[in-house]
Amino acid sequence: MAIEGKYVPSPTQWVRDQVEAIEAAGDTRAAQLMDRPVVLLTMRGVSGNVRKVPLMRVEHDGVYAAVASKGGAPENPKWYANLRKNPVLELMDGTRTWTAKARELSGAEREQWWERCVAAYPPYADYQTKTDRQIPVLVLEPVQD
């Protein structure tokens, strides 16, 4: 299921550059964050427009996580509100793309995934110390078409 509609690029230059590199190559390996692999999320924004964001690749047994860290900023990244309102998205890893549904985690399940997220990208632990909010972790579970 493709996310249809008007695509509005990110106002952030490095995000636009990464999305363009991924789309030109047809492969998420064309971009990295902090020298680590990324996945590309395509979602419907709160505004109704299509939005695309590269995120750190966190995967366990075929299920992926999205960490709304924003580098430890006091507020969540904008894509978090998009997924809360419109949880069905397109997820791309490498050259493979599929439909997934975002589900925010809490309790023991969040803690288990948080450990996986920090293992994939250790600075997440430092980001958590910089903010009073608990950094949201969402799982991106495959949807059967």
* Superfamily classification of domain 13-142: Electron Transport, Fmn-binding Protein; Chain A (2.30.110.10)
pLDDT confidence of residue 1: 67
Query: Which residues lie below 8 Å from residue 31, measured CB to CB, with a gap of 6+?
Result: 17, 18, 19, 21, 22, 38, 54
Q: pTM to 2 decimals?
A: 0.95
Quickly state the pLDDT bin for 145 (edges 50, 70, 90): low
Q: What are 119-137's pLDDT values in tens digits?
A: 999 999 999 999 999 999 9
Task: Give the angle 75-78-79 at the CA atoms, nearest 5°.
Answer: 125
Q: What are 25-79's pLDDT values in tens digits?
A: 999 999 998 899 999 999 999 999 999 999 999 999 999 999 999 999 999 999 9
pLDDT confidence of residue 144: 79
